[in-house]
Structure 1
Amino acid sequence: MLKPLLISLGLFLAGCSQQFQDVNSTFDEAFFGSSDVELSKEYIQTLPYSSIYAEVNDQGKIFMVLAYVGENPQTGAEQLKWMSSDKAMIVTENGRIVQTLLLPYENLSGLAFQPLDSFSFANSSSPDSSSAFDVSGRSGAQKWQAVYDWQPNYRIGYKANITRTYAGNETVETPLASIDTKKFQEKINFPMLEQEMTNEYWVDGKGKVVKTIQYLGPNMTRLELTVLKHYQSN
């Protein structure tokens, strides 16, 4: 079930907030070389929306707001749907990108987790818990599998073996706060493609992702997300 958070989202994106339109320009412009979006702390705090910065291939930050909250029908995980002023969308589950729409190069059309069939049970993790981060500092490597789908060209059903490891403590600076985090790295290997990639997550003491660098696929779009204002469920 999808729950709209912005009742007047259409008006908001269409011009209700001219300042939002001005700083974001058009989505494509920011991807193809315009200067970074830099919003003031006061402006971000004043907006009554959860929000993130998204940076694509190091080509400038985009300001995105939380448009909808949904639920993964397979796992029950909470899905947050972030939208730009040009209606491009990034869908996340605790910071993990599981779908994108209207990005300029390629899009992740689906990401599904599944039980392991090639790793030992001792090192395995449930697909349902793949979005959860153990911030106790006591966990070892976690392993599971996933299936990736991409557009264009209907690239469907690419299985990946994923290994997550703890990579130390770091402080993340956002426009609103300085946050102590634990850093995690995920090595993602695609046997069919004989390629791999590494995604990174910075997680606060409550287990929430505050910053992440992820690739939609091997040799594909790089996305860096920084959470400005977290969504607080009722």
Structure 2
Amino acid sequence: MHIHKKLVSLITLSLVLLNTTACSQRIGALNDTLKLAFIGDKDVKLSTQQVNDIPYASIYAQIGDMSQVFIVLVFAEPKVSLTQVPTTLSTELKWLSADKGMIVTVNGRLVRTHNNPTGDLVAVESTEPDPIMLGLQLASTPKTWTRIIDWQPGYHFGYRATSYFNLVGQEKILINDIPTQALHYSETVLVDDLNIQYQNEFWLTPETGNVIKSRQKIAPNLPFIDISLLKPFAS
């Protein structure tokens, strides 16, 4: 991507952020930091202070072998899926990159993407609550889950995916350059109709079960996306 296009995208992103918050006094500082984040083709790495100075929830994301990018939260919207159990209320977090790409997560689970150059996850639907939402660290949480996934390009709709979760162990990882204790879970995903199997990875806060880092396949024939939570959303 050319620098000129990145600057246009940067301006667009700044306007979006300005329109989604009543606090504008720090927009100048945000713009300065976003320039550091989005100009250049190498992996983005902000300092702990730079991340903390930005008044928005933020993540790092890396798709396949592409460069790591810094992404901010622009919308947090409660949603109840029409096919989920009625008691399941979730908050969708919508993260926007400088080139207008978007990823949508629910407690760290990737549920949709938009404008991804390799293809997009269109929908994830289930009649069962996602164990990630219930808290994988709890003994009462089921360790299997079945859902229907849709993705593009191509006509990939209505594929059944079954997951099996397994505790790998407790690990110390870096989050915003801070050593953090986490529970590492692996998720083996089977898509029987395509004879495909792959493995996602999640790192959770032991006390809350919140996902702070993950490696998830966007769709069965699309690459993985690595996500690290820098600053969480404060509801």
TM-score greater than 0.5 by the shorter chain: yes
Q: Which residue of 2 aligns with 1:70?
A: 77
- Compare the two structures and name the one with the higher helix fraction: 2
Of 88, 98, 102, the residue aligned with 1:85 is 98
Cα distance in 1 between the residues matched to 2:55 and 2:110: 23
Change (3 A) 1:176 1:22: closer
Cα distance in 1 between the residues matched to 2:130 and 2:213: 22
Q: Deviations over 1:113-140 (max 9, x none)?
A: 23xxxxxxxxxxx42555232325x468
Query: Which residue identity does 2:118 align to in structure 1?
Result: Y
> Runs of 5+ in structure 1 lacking a partner?
115-125
Q: Which residue of 2 aligns with 1:160?
A: 161
Q: Which residue of 1 aligns with 2:136?
A: 134
Change (3 A) 1:130 1:47: closer
Question: Is the aligned partner of 1:21 residue 2:32?
Answer: no
Query: Which residue identity does 1:60 align to in structure 2?
Result: S
Cα distance in 1 between the residues matched to 2:144 and 2:220: 19
Q: Which residue of 2 aligns with 1:224?
A: 226
Q: Which residue of 1 aligns with 2:215?
A: 213
Query: Which residue identity does 1:153 align to in structure 2?
Result: G
> Runs of 5+ in structure 2 lacking a partner?
1-15, 82-87
Q: Which residue of 2 aligns with 1:174?
A: 175
Of 50, 53, 57, the residue aligned with 2:64 is 57
Give the alignment's TM-score, normalised by structure 2: 0.80
Q: Which residue of 1 aligns with 2:49?
A: 42
Change (3 A) 1:104 1:90: same
Moved over 3 A (4+): 9-13, 138-141
Query: Which residue identity does 2:173 align to in structure 1?
Result: V
Task: Report how far residue 36 of structure 1 moved.
Answer: 0.6
Task: Report the count of equivalent residues.
Answer: 209
Q: CA RMSD in A?
A: 2.6
Cα distance in 2 between the residues matched to 1:59 and 1:228: 19
Cα distance in 2 between the residues matched to 1:219 and 1:40: 34
Q: Deviations over 1:130-178 (max 9, x none)?
A: 5232325x46861121111001223111111111111111111022421
| % identical aligned pairs | 29
Of 99, 106, 110, the residue aligned with 1:97 is 110
Give the alignment's TM-score, normalised by structure 1: 0.81
C-alpha contact (below 8 Å) 2:148/2:161 kept by paired residues = yes
Query: Which residue identity does 1:210 align to in structure 2?
Result: I
